[in-house]
Structure 1
Amino acid sequence: MQIVDDIKPVTYLKSKTADVLKYINETHRPIIITQNGEAKAVIQDPKSYQDMKNALAIMKLLSFAEEDIRNENLHSEDDVFDTVEKLLEQ
């Protein structure tokens, strides 16, 4: 199935809302809603949305880590665990 199959006009959403919700929850594929031929919204099931948010958060953390490595902002394992232990004691 191609993304073209998941593009629907707003009139389709208005007339088949229950079908759209069933489709996105069963397939976990988002649907792109158009208005006057232009993409205006994406409808997605909650689990896929949360998974996407989690993946973006992990990618952001990896980006920060890569930047720290490039800037040689590094700490030994012992230093990290010592800091964590001190924070937990407070």
Structure 2
Amino acid sequence: MKLSSQIKPISYLKAHAAEIVRNMSGQGEPLVITQNGEAKVVMQDIESYEQTQETMALLKILALGSRQIEEGKVQPAGDVIQRLRDRSKSR
């Protein structure tokens, strides 16, 4: 993804908002909006945003799992399954 072609000043956004929104869904690339020469906002279509959020959630789950492994907060699957079977038999 080459962001240099996707950088526009806020004045461009103001003048072409409808066109930008129309084109966003087809491109799949974010649009960086600048104000006074500095990057201020990133715009992206809803599908890309949702995909980004799902990816972030999965990465958080993986990081949590890795941390639990490092802290020794895991048990062998066989032990857990056996304990669940024993519990269901005692009911």
**1:4 counterpart = 2:20:** no
* Residue identity matched to 2:36: N
* Divergent runs of 4+, >4 A: none
Unaligned runs of at least 5 residues, structure 1 = none
Q: Name the CA distance, whole Å, in 1 between partners of 2:38 and 2:54.
A: 29
Sequence identity of aligned pairs in percent?
31
Secondary structure, aligned partner of 1:16: helix
* Residue identity matched to 2:14: K
Residue 77 of structure 1 corresponds to 77
Question: Which protein is bigger by CA-based radius of gyration?
Answer: 2
* Residue identity matched to 2:75: H
Where in structure 2 are the equivalents of 1:41-80 lying within 5 Å?
A: 41-78=41-78, 79=80
Q: Name the CA distance, whole Å, in 2 between partners of 1:37 and 1:52.
A: 27
Secondary structure, aligned partner of 2:4: helix
Q: How many residues are matched?
A: 85
Secondary structure, aligned partner of 2:72: coil
Unaligned runs of at least 5 residues, structure 2 = none
Q: Name the CA distance, whole Å, in 2 between partners of 1:15 and 1:25.
A: 19
Q: Name the CA distance, whole Å, in 1 between partners of 2:14 and 2:42.
A: 14
TM-score by length of 1: 0.83
TM-score by length of 2: 0.82
